[in-house]
Structure 1
Amino acid sequence: MIRSSIRLLPAAAAVAVLVALALRLGAGDVLTALRSLDAPVLAAALAIGFVSTAASAARWWLIARSAGLRLSLPQAVVEYYRAQLGNAVLPAGMLGDLHRAVSHGRRAGDVGGGLRAVMLERMAGQVVLVLAAVGVLVAQPRLLPVLADAVLPSAVSEWVVPALAVAAAVLVGVGIVFRHRLAPLVTDLRRMATMRVWPGVVVLSAVALVGYLATFVLAARAAGVTAPVADLLPPMLLALLVMGLPVNVGGFGPREAITAVAFGALGLGAAAGFATAVGYGVLCLVSALPGLATFVRRTPTVLIPAQRTPRAALVPAS
């Protein structure tokens, strides 16, 4: 009973954030934005979602093959759609990816390898996102002071740096203690870092990121935000970063809060930011709906696991 309650805490926190935003900012702008999501907007979201999903699936395919795991590109796209749908409707926003990792690992005869491939695939996307966000925020720094005051009050900032230092020390210690167990992950990371793999991973991550931002712009326009795309980039990238936190319900929660704060700081209106973030979540759900077909046409699980394919047979020589 206690464990079940603890597992529900992140979802409950996300719902509490949404309720607090609705009470403070009102739901009028959100309802207006949702009514503006007509057929052309939804069709555009589906098309953009296909490009982003295909790019992300190809990134996973490259990383899995570099680690010697058998995975076809069409199967990667199918599995990625299924995972996105799971992420969009389940708490924490990562359960679909967990299922994708375990399912692929079982088919390839290496569950650990499947988990590492998905972990590295998601990490690669996050690294590109962080680099893009840092670049945009450095180019447009006016948002940083406001966010620092909103997210890191003076009472908190006094112990943030020491806490981060302690966390880094703990991570290093854990890495030293469990270095033998981390060896396979390090090996897969080295394989991904070769010139045959990482340039493709970076390009595909950039394509997927552009798709996410384009979907965000669709949501902003539906919410009545007419600001130039360049002005929308900082809050949109921050919202995507916050979505990586496992305290959400299908992506909803902290994303809406940070978008409202950022839009308010830029003079675009906190209510408009709230409406944009909610609209983005709905468009993401719509773009993941093709994943329903993967459940209907899902192939039966192979009882005998496939043999692990040698890396040399999968990665062509340069």
Structure 2
Amino acid sequence: MVEKQAKIYVAGHHGMVGAAIWRSLEKKGYKRLIGSSSSELDLRNQQAVRDFFNAERPEVVIDAAARVGGILANNSYPYQFLMDNMLIQNNLIDSSLHAGVGKFIFLGSSCIYPKFAPQPLKEEYLLTSSLEPTNEWYALAKISGVKACEAIRKQFDKDFISLMPTNLYGPFDNFDLQTSHVLPAMIRKFHEAKLNGHADVVLWGSGTPMREFLHVDDMADAVIFAMEHTFEDNLYNVGSGVDLTIKELAELIQRTTGHQGKIVWDSSKPDGTPRKLMDVSKMAEKGWRYAISLDKGIKETYDWFLANVDRVKEVKI
């Protein structure tokens, strides 16, 4: 059990996921939270990270730091998505080991699983077949992080675990149309089309792929649940266990935003993985389940977007 006075370092606490974890930790009464912005600490710099750990001596580390993006960003910047993510996570994992961190939680992505793996995705499907080409660089980096934590558990008997979230969304998401994921990109597209006289909205692909989504506050709750409990295995999926087609998602967001124009599907653009549904039975067996429905979550996210439309996060690479 992690004490309320434990020193907890949330890497990436200014990002959507890290910020949600920080807020949830505060709500649950954890007092000694540590965070550092990218301008204060470059997590790609091994010596800087080592020095930070030696100075701060955290007892728990939650790795929510990563370079992230959608299909376009992954295809356009493969080297950065591979190398930056490996540098960030390797420095955090290795520094945590050498600093004697008691609990380390590594956050990955459902894209670590093979493109045509059986559905729903079970943890044991990792490394059984080839990856989805449009995001293999990011996936390979995350797989190496999972394996590093597994190796530490095996060799040093340390409580290092990996949580693989499904597609996350919510407040403080990235709404930049060049680098964002599908759900926030759709929110922005439908909103701007509504303002433009309910113009048509052009979306990538056929609309037939199926995806699962989880509100970032639910993800934060899962992270803290994992922090407060002892997990026997090294890898756990985190999701809702419920999916829908991209077309259904588009229609839901269209209704939420009030857009009344047409949806046009550009089938010349890639669809990505046909289906990506997580098997979340291992987390359910531990006693955790999601709480925020997709309808409610999208409504809350759109409300946040409207309140922050002049300063929505735009990632530059």
Give the TM-score band, short-chain normalised: under 0.3
Q: Taking CA–CA contacts closer than 8 Å with sequence separation of 6 or more, which of the two structures ends up with the larger relative contact order?
A: 1
Report the structure number with the largest CA radius of gyration: 1
Identify, as 1 or 2, the structure richer in strand: 2
Identify, as 1 or 2, the structure richer in helix: 1
The two structures have a TM-score, normalised by structure 1, of 0.28
The two structures have a TM-score, normalised by structure 2, of 0.28
